[in-house]
Amino acid sequence: MSPPLPPYTPARGLRGGHAMTIFASLARVYPRPRARRERWELPDGDFVDVDRYAASGVGAAHRPVLVVCHGLEGSSRAPYVRGLVAAGLARGLDALALNFRGCSGEPNRLPRFYHSGDTGDLHEVVTRLAAERPGRPIVLAGFSLGGNVVVKYVGERGESLAPEVRAAAGISVPFDLLRSARALDAPGFWNRVYRERFLRRLREKALAKARRFPGAFDVARVRAAASFAEYDAALTAPLHGFASAEDYWWRCSSARFLPGVRRPLLAIAAIDDPIVPGDTLPVEEARANPLVTLEATQAGGHVAFVSGWPFWPDFWAERRAIEFLDAALRE
């Protein structure tokens, strides 16, 4: 058994949540474990692409599997996903990295997209893995949007969650989607950089979708959307059955589902996260459920948690998540 991971110490020279977040996003060198791409058909006629990884050592029938969900406009090949997969493989876990619909490099078939509260595809993945090898332990992990999906899924399923699912972890989870949307839409240079980076990709996908499905949504509103409030009101809400952007944010915020969690759950957060404000963390909800562990560090940024030196970095949150999940599997 590996020795306990020491508490998080921020990397020297990366001061503030923005510096940490941007470094982790742009300057990261990451492992490239060998993956096998599979396309899984879904009951509604659409598909998801998944990348599967096999650990070495113990026979495949006995290896637990780690399921990883990426963040907004990420993919299974995002550096943080591969970093977590590599950490899991080193602990003897197989892994599966899920691409949300339209995020694998090929457009999905239906007018709909993915969103922060869409747990249906994760449920399909869990169901299929459980059917492959009944009783094989499964652990879940997600980053940012994917973390919200994981936490919501575990909480909303409660006692009905597949018994194969033993534990879950979320890193930089936007527990309150309204507050996170407002943080991204707030004035400021870096907020504008984050906002436009995400919205540019989302608008491009939406406009390509509109050419395939004329009339599915108001193209002019989507093209003009300059904030998450405008984008979610123009596309996410109407396309996925929500009354408004506010209705979508409220119904899909994972903090609401923490009381229903019935498996060990670790949530890793940073107080200086520029996208998930520290005062939005569900401290009381976590305290009220003994199965929920909320670890909030003073520094760490968003999906970053860089430690060591910038020229020789380590990514603490991924190792901490694997440590937690591995310990839950051994109980």
With cut-offs at 50, 70 and 90, classify the pLDDT of residue 2: low
pLDDT category at 5 given cuts 50, 70, 90 is: confident
Tokens of 142: 């997600």
- Judge contact between 139 and 167, C-beta under 8 A: yes
Beta strands in 108-236, from DSSP E residues, in sequence order: 138-143, 165-171
Q: What is the pLDDT of residues 252-295, one digit of tens each?
A: 999 999 999 999 999 999 999 999 999 999 999 999 999 999 99
Mean pLDDT of 318-324: 97
Are the CB atoms for 140 and 104 separated by under 8 Å? Answer: no
Specify the length of the chain in residues: 331
Q: Characterise 44 by phi-psi region: left (phi > 0), alpha (psi -120 to 50), beta (else).
A: alpha
Residue 195 has pLDDT above 60, yes or no: yes
Q: What is d(CA 56, CA 94) in angstroms, rounded to the nearest whole number? A: 9
On whether the CB atoms of residues 33 and 82 are closer than 8 A, the answer is: yes
Taking the C-alpha atoms of residue 96 and residue 173, their distance in angstroms, rounded to an integer, is 20
Rounded to an integer, what distance in angstroms lies between the CA atom of residue 48 and that of residue 92? Answer: 25
Tens-digit pLDDT profile for residues 235-254: 999 999 999 999 999 999 99
β-sheet bridge partners, residue 31: none
CA distance 289 to 86: 30
The predicted pLDDT at position 61 comes to 67
User: Can you tell me whether residue 93 is helix, strand or coil?
Assistant: coil
Per residue in 111-163, pLDDT (tens digit) is 999 999 999 999 999 999 999 999 999 999 999 999 999 999 999 999 999 99
Q: Global pTM?
A: 0.96
Query: H or E segment at 129?
Result: helix 120-132
Confidence (pLDDT) at 57:
64
> Over the chain, what is the mean pLDDT?
95
* Average pLDDT of the residues in 176-203: 97
Q: Is the confidence at residue 58, as pLDDT, over 70?
A: no
pLDDT on residue 27? 84
Catalytic residues: 144, 273, 302
On the question of pLDDT at 24 being above 70, the answer is yes
pLDDT one-digit tens code per residue, 75-115: 999 999 999 999 999 999 999 999 999 999 999 999 999 99
What are the φ/ψ torsions at residue 225 (nearest 5 degrees)?
Answer: -65, 120
| Domains of the chain: residue spans and CATH | 17-176+253-330 (3.40.50.1820), 177-252 (no CATH)
Three-class SS state of 69: strand
Q: What is the pLDDT of residue 32?
A: 84
Q: How confident is the model at residue 6 (pLDDT cuts 50, 70, 90)?
A: confident
